[in-house]
Chains A and B, each alone.
Chain A
Amino acid sequence: MTVPNLVGAGLIVIGAGIGLGKIGGSAMEGIARQPEATGKIQTAMIIIAALLEGLAFGALFLGK
């Protein structure tokens, strides 16, 4: 792995981290507001997190 690759990977991880943090935070807020909707929120959260994860992995492996 060359230095630009590593920097790119770092940038991807930062982006994905911010995204996942936002998703997780919003989900937590939603659950706190409506505890009865926990199941639905979790499912939606996991789906979006998984899609984001797929994007991040795709970028990581394209750069590898």
Chain B
Amino acid sequence: MKFSHRSHLVFTTFFAVLFSATLWASDEEKHEGAVNKPEHVAAYIQHHIKDAHDFHLYSYTDTHGERKHVGFPLPVIVWSSKGLATFMSSKFHHDDDGKVIVEAGGTRFVKLHSKIYELEAGADTVAFDETHHATNAHKVLDFSITKSVFGILLVGLLMFFWFSRLARQYKSRKVPKGFGRVLEPLVLYVRDEIAKPNIGEKRYREFTGYLLTVFFFIWILNLLGLTPLGFNVTGQLAVTAALAIFTLIIYTFKGNKGYWGHMLWMPGVPVLIRPVLAIIEVAGAFLIKPFSLLVRLFANISAGHIVVMSLIAIMVTMKAEIGAVGATALSFILSFFITLIEVLVAFLQAYIFTMLSALFIGMAVEEHDHH
């Protein structure tokens, strides 16, 4: 416990120092991207919550008053009206307002609020309507290695490395050593506390692989989101939607006769009510269950990021009221405790997602006793 507290402290300090570097970078307004006014904070957080096309670590203003961004670019792969186009995200020069136009694959692209738009033929600049929607550009199918995809790849490789090593260890010894000793109880936990009680002794085995993958995938990504690297993978609707749809597909295709019978023609209730119940059950199975899964994970992680960043931003937003030192101290204390809670939430959300998946699968495959 002592160790973990200390590591959280290190965590939070690291976090705060990094962001403060960004937040305090400059007092002059002309430097783009520096967040030092309360008005900038909301936009900065909104920006962070979204996916990004380059891996941005931090920014600073050098002695010549020039804004420098530290990070590395990621490849952009888009499917436009002219076919596939690939280029590095550095071509946008950190622009996010549609000002820099990149020509690639025979057409032109701009980046607007973390999305790639294709300019329509003949247009030289992006035109906006009164609600700030681009009028002469449209979105493209974006298969870029974005920051989130990079995070997914990173976690995938990490998981593969860790768990295949654990699997290999068992060949020569009964009890794993080193990091495997940490992983083994977690695997056992998912198997014994999530898969077995919810799916049942008979069939839990065929779904445990999926549940284990999803559990560790979500948990590691949640924790990665708490590091100053600034990942927000499980806070992306597309990611959680994909996860929820995996669960939906599994319990739909593995559902047995009893499950479909109870869904479509509920036994034991008056015949007139059965169609009504069927509508509710179908909506529950295909809409409410996956929707609640995907929205819960997305909202919890996004909300966590927003709260942590808002608390860190106190050092900017409340500087005028309580002074720089007071604001910094307050933001330190608050963000420290909320980060502790977020570490718990990171596990809890992974647990709940896995548990509800197991529950839904268990409901689909359980043997109904005949009435």
Contact = CB atoms under 8 A, between A and B. Distances in A.
Direct contact of A and B (CB under 8 A): yes
Contacts of A55: 292
Interface in A12-49: 43, 46-47
A50 B291 contact: no
A51 interface: yes
Interface residues of B, number: 13
Contact of B292 (A43, A46, A51, A60): A51
A2 B294 CA distance: 25
Nearest to B293: A54
B355 A54 contact: no
Interface residues of A, number: 12
Contacts of B352: 46, 50
B291 A54 contact: yes
Contact of B295 (A43, A46, A47, A57): A57
Interface in B183-220: 197
B56 interface: no
B355 A53 contact: no
Contacts of A50: 292, 296, 352, 355-356
A57 B299 contact: yes
B250 interface: no
B304 to A, nearest CB: 13
| Majority secondary structure of chain B interface residues (helix, strand, loop or mixed) | helix
Contact of A60 (B197, B293, B299, B356): B299
A47 B356 contact: yes
Most B CB within 10 A of own CB, among A50, A51, A53: A50
Contacts of A63: none
B235 to A, nearest CB: 13
B280 to A, nearest CB: 14
A51 B197 CA distance: 19
Interface string B45-71: 000000000000000000000000000
A53 B296 contact: yes
A60 B295 CA distance: 10
A57 B355 CA distance: 18
B359 interface: yes
B359 A54 contact: no
A58 interface: yes
Given A54-B291, A54-B293, A57-B292, A47 B299 contact: no
Nearest to B349: A50
B356 A58 contact: no
B294 to A, nearest CB: 9
Contact of B299 (A43, A51, A61): A61
A47 B296 contact: no
A4 to B, nearest CB: 18
Interface string B276-318: 0000000000001001110110010000000000000000000
Given A54-B292, A57-B299, 10 more contacts: A43-B355, A46-B355, A47-B355, A50-B352, A54-B288, A54-B293, A54-B296, A57-B292, A57-B295, A58-B292
21 contacts: A43-B197, A46-B352, A46-B355, A47-B356, A50-B292, A50-B352, A51-B292, A53-B296, A54-B288, A54-B291, A54-B292, A54-B295, A54-B296, A55-B292, A57-B292, A57-B295, A57-B296, A57-B299, A58-B292, A58-B295, A61-B295
Interface of A: 43, 46-47, 50-51, 53-55, 57-58, 60-61
